[in-house]
């Protein structure tokens, strides 16, 4: 998996990823690839597995969400709330996700003022799930307005705005201590519910699930193998990640140990709780049926 920022290149738009022609069941399966440290263990294994005929498209979650929804991608890890809003056209790959149990550092609300004084929160379009999680967890207790912002985090904080950061940007900001007040939404979620917080799921388009079941089965097997490979050698994964991301090996090892990639009963319960709370908060029209690809 590549990190476009480290390599000085822009994320490729859907449909223009790196292909591996090979034919067979995996031919032309277009797979989205999140360009962040949190998904490195699984995507690193998919790279190593070199599945024949798979085309990867690198991007931020919002770009990949849109690609799956508009049909320029067949399958991807995508924001759990974006999946839920389009669940009638999608199928879950019930073998993988990205989740945490407790503080994770990579989804943080940072503020220049005490959190009870926050009135405006600047957000980026990078993750729909994090914005919904903020509204679900903090909205009832704080009166604030969520606003899209083009300002970098330091500028937004200097202007008196709180900022919601995710993934590598949140890790860098938290480590850098750029704000005097900080709230870890993964930790708050765990305190409120006692469940894992599922930020992203793997989902495929309905038409892909119908016409390409063998290809999706092979991808499910590879995701499961990647999760197992990470569990078997977390130190090796941290060393590999340190070659690509701006964090040292020890920090990466600690960060990745707080993430969960397998989609088990606890993760399903956490996802259902999040979606139900999102529905109650008006962020989701209805509770979707979590339909999976055929086993």
Q: What is the DSSP letter of 272?
A: H
Residue 258, judged by CB atoms within 10 A of its CB (0-12, 13-18, 19+), counts as: middle
50: left (phi over 0), alpha (psi -120 to 50) or beta: left
What average pLDDT does range 173-202 have in this prediction? 93
Which strands, in side-by-side order, build the sheet including 107-111? 145-148, 120-123, 162-166, 107-111, 181-184
pLDDT per position as a tens digit, 208-251: 999 999 999 999 999 999 999 999 999 999 999 999 999 999 99
Distances (CA, A) of 280 to 187, 201, 256, 270, 284: 21, 21, 31, 15, 8
Asked if residues 263 and 67 have their Cβ atoms less than 8 Å apart, the reply is no
pTM of the complete model = 0.85
Q: How confident is the model at residue 295 (pLDDT cuts 50, 70, 90)?
A: low
pLDDT per position as a tens digit, 109-159: 999 989 888 888 888 766 678 888 988 888 766 666 777 666 677 877 877
Of 8-12, 255-259, 267-271, which gets the smallest average pLDDT? 8-12
pLDDT per position as a tens digit, 28-52: 899 999 889 999 999 999 988 888 8
């Amino acid at each position: 998996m590549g990190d476009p920022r480290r390599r000085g290149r822009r994320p490729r738009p859907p449909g223009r990823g790196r292909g591996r022609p090979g034919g067979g069941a995996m031919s032309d399966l277009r797979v989205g690839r999140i360009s962040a440290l949190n998904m490195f263990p699984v995507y690193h294994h998919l790279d190593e597995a070199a599945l024949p005929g798979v085309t990867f498209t690198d991007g931020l979650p919002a770009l990949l969400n849109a690609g799956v929804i508009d049909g320029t991608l067949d399958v991807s890890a995508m924001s759990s709330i974006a999946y839920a809003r389009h669940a009638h056209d999608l199928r879950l790959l019930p073998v993988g996700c990205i989740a945490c149990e407790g503080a994770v550092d990579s989804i943080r609300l940072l503020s220049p003022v005490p959190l009870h004084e926050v009135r405006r929160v600047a957000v980026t379009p990078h993750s729909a799930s994090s914005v919904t999680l903020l509204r679900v967890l903090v909205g009832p207790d704080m009166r604030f307005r969520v606003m899209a912002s083009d300002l970098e985090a330091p500028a937004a904080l200097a202007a008196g705005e709180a900022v919601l950061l995710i993934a590598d940007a949140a890790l860098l900001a938290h480590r850098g201590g750029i704000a005097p007040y900080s709230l870890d939404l993964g930790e708050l979620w765990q305190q409120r519910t006692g469940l894992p917080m599922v930020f992203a799921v793997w989902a495929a388009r309905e038409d892909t699930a119908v016409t390409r079941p063998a290809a999706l089965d092979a991808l499910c097997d590879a995701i499961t193998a990647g999760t197992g490979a990470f569990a078997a050698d977390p130190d090796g994964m941290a060393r590999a990640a340190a070659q690509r991301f701006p964090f040292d090996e020890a920090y990466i090892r600690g960060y990745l140990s707080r993430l969960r990639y397998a989609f088990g009963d606890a993760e399903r319960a956490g996802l259902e709780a999040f979606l139900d709370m999102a529905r109650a908060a008006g962020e989701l029209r209805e509770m979707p049926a979590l339909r999976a690809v055929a086993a």
